[in-house]
Structure 1
Amino acid sequence: MYRFLLTPRWWAINVFVLLAVPFCLFMGSWQLSRFEDRVDTHKQQRGQAERIAREEAVPLADLLPVDKQTSGRMASTTGTFDPEHQYLVPDRTLDDRRGFYVLGMLRTADAGPGDPGSGGRALPVVRGWLPGDADPARVPPLPTGEVVVTGALQASESGGATGLPAGQLGTISAAALVNLVPYDVYDAWVTVQDVSAPLEAVPPAAAKGSGLDLKAFQNLGYTAEWFVFAGFVLFMWFRFLRRDVELARDADLGLPPDTGGPAPRAPDAPKADAPAESKADAPAAPKAAAPKADAPQV
């Protein structure tokens, strides 16, 4: 009865099932692992403020390049602020309040790849946050001389507003600063946690691709989809198998194959023709009377 399983058609079906089901299960497990990673990073971020407060600062060079493990870590470096290049980053919120970041450029002794033997590179440093519209008159003066800056390390941002007035910046990134400053810029920035009034400290943002955001729940949805695909493949394989088993059983019993359509309709019995009437028996049609000629007038 199961000899049909040796046909080329069923060989192709079985090979497809053996490849498709493990692939769907692997993809579903991979998406689930990505969701679990985001849950773990979300748990880590909830206690980030306490961790930053008790964490020892690490030299900046030891934390570069920025990734999910080093984002938010406390970094320390030495340099001098450039008084000619300080920027305001508008439309930044802190505790649901609208304001702006105060960004300074810290010149370090490390030379960049395009700046060998010169005065080094610059590290973007968010000195703090101020409420309201971006106004340079409200910004405290930069520290002078060589300073040690300690802050939470962040990766360069992407996107942001364009067409801003001079002295304002839409994103904090080396790509946005490369045409504004005459030296190389680190592909990272730090946000100082120990600030003085009126500035307020900017907490480090979650690393890109981490935390329970919309992307995380998309991973969870993809997990369900891949497992459903695996179940659908098995369901269709069982359905095809049951159909072919029934066809093989009917063939062994000598029954005609069931095509699944409606049963053929029996032809209608011929109706007996009614006897034709003879022309002689048919009543004659009445003849119209001929008009009589008027009698001549005497």
Structure 2
Amino acid sequence: MYRFLLSARWIGFAIFVVLLAAICTRLGFWQMDKLQQRFDRNDAITKHFGADPVDLSTALPAGTEVDKSNEWTRVRATGTYDLDHQVTVKFSTRDGAPGVNVVTPLVLDSGAALLVDRGWMETQNNVSHPDVPDPATGEVTIEGWLRKDNGATGGAVRPNDGQVRAISSDGMADFVPYDLIDGYVNLQKQSPAPSAGLAVEPKPELGQGPHFFYALQWWFFALLAVVGYFWFARAEAKERRKPTRIDGFAAERQLVPTMGRGSEATEGRRPGEARRP
């Protein structure tokens, strides 16, 4: 009954189903791995936010990089803002409103500088040089969250007419005349107080995100592919059984007209001619 499954067409179909189910299953586990990473990130954020701020040199010794072990650490640093190399991050939105983030290098006593995301302001995306409020002049002490460079590359992180699309110390390296410390800081507090007009970065969302439900969807697609294969196989088997059935009633009806035509021919009458008395 199911020998047709050994045909080339059905073998190819089976291979396709197995590959599809395997890929969907793997994508489901990938989403679960992303979920675990999200939990680890939330734990790290909660731990760092529960601790007191530390000096930048303690959280990020010279020559080290920002990674998942020290990202979100609350740090403080003292230096002077360099407005000549300030950039804005365009296409930054909050609650659906367009705007820019303002990133200003903070030159430290060591001569190196730290990129500081001073905050966000609402402005139209088509404004190439928004009117950004200046920070306090002279030496300032800042406090904020240590962040990793954005993973973008190329023109997205290299300043163009004083604007970038993502924050990266690597992308800004050729734009400034001093060494840049890896990563950047989301400003939260400053002394003297920063100018009005910039909104500090809000606390990150600590939810689990959509990863769990995405995993369920991928696993459902894998199950659907397997069930679909057996459903189509069963439908094919049923279709192949239909031609082998002989309806006895239909066969009898086919024989009756043949017998009638033979009887009329035997009596010498044309088909349809009335019977002679």
Range into which the TM-score falls when normalised by the shorter chain = 0.5 to 0.7
- Are the aligned partners of 1:20 and 1:233 in contact in 2 as well (CA < 8 Å)? no
Q: CA shift at 1:104, angstroms?
A: 1.6
Distance 1:223 1:142 in 2: 57
Corresponding residue of 1:291: none
Distance (whole Å) between structure 2 residues aligned to residue 48 and residue 131 of structure 1: 30
Distance in 1 between residues matched to 2:172 and 2:230, nearest whole Å: 55
* Cα deviation 1:101-131 (Å, max 9, x = unaligned): 2212245799xxxxxxxx76x5422123345
Same amino acid, percent of matched pairs: 17
How far the C-alpha of 1:135 sits from its partner, in A, is: 1.8
For 1:230 and 1:166, how far apart are their aligned partners in 2? Answer: 55
Conserved? CA contact 1:82–1:104, under 8 Å: yes
CA distance in 1 between partners of 2:90 and 2:12 (Å): 59
Matched, 1:167 2:166: no
Instruction: Give the 3-state SS of the residue equivalent to 2:148 in structure 1.
Output: strand
Q: 2:203 matched to 1:212?
A: no
1:102 paired with 2:99, answer: no
After TM superposition, the structure 1 = structure 2 runs for residues 252-291 of structure 1, keeping only pairs within 5 Å, are: 257=244, 269=261, 272=270
Contact between 2:149 and 2:183, CA under 8 Å: does it hold in 1?
Answer: yes
Q: Give ranges in structure 1 of 5+ residues lacking alignment.
A: 111-118, 248-255, 276-298
SS at match of 2:232: helix
Identify the residue that residue 9 of structure 1 maps to in structure 2.
6
5 Å matches for 1:182-197? 182=177, 188-195=183-190, 196-197=193-194
Instruction: Assess, with a 3 A threshold, how the Cα gap between structure 1 residues 95 and 15 changes in structure 2: closer, same or farther.
Output: closer
SS in structure 2 of the partner of residue 156 of structure 1: coil
Q: Distance between the aligned counterparts of 1:63 and 1:233, measured in 2?
A: 54
The 5-angstrom pairing of residues 45-56 of structure 1 reads 51-55=47-51
Structure 1: distance between partners of 2:152 and 2:212? 20
Report whether the alignment pairs 1:140 with 2:138.
Answer: no
Distance change (3 Å), C-alpha of 1:38 and 1:144: same
The corresponding residue for 1:89 is 89
Give the Cα separation in 2 of the matches to 1:149 and 1:193.
6
Distance change in 2, residues 1:33/1:143 (3 Å): farther
Alignment partners' CA distance in 2, 1:188 and 1:201: 17
1:224 counterpart residue number = 220
Normalization by structure 2: what TM-score? Answer: 0.55
Distance (Å, rounded) in 2 between the aligned partners of 1:141 and 1:168: 21
Answer yes or no: is the 8 Å Cα contact 2:169–2:183 preserved in 1: yes
Matched, 1:125 2:113: no
Instruction: State whether structure 2 residue 70 is matched by structure 1 residue 74.
Output: no
The answer for unaligned runs of 5 or more in structure 2 is 125-129
Find out whether 1:64 has 2:50 as its counterpart.
no
User: How many residues are aligned here?
Assistant: 242
Is residue 203 from structure 1 mapped to residue 199 from structure 2 by the alignment? no
Show the counterpart of 2:31.
35
**Kindly tell me: are residues 153 and 33 of structure 1, through their superposed partners in 2, closer, same or farther at Cα, counting changes over 3 Å?**
same
Give 1:228 shift. 0.6
TM-score normalized with structure 1 length: 0.53
Q: Which has the higher helix share?
A: 2
Change (3 A) 1:131 1:16: closer
C-alpha separation between the residues in 2 aligned to 1:106 and 1:182? 13
- Cα offset, 1:191, TM superposition: 1.1
Report the Cα offset of residue 158 of structure 1. 3.9
Please give the root-mean-square deviation of Cα atoms over the aligned residues, in Å.
5.4
| Contact persistence 2:73–2:145 (CA under 8 A) | yes
Equivalent residue, structure 1, for 2:127: none
1:31 deviates by: 2.7
- 2:23 is aligned with what amino acid? M
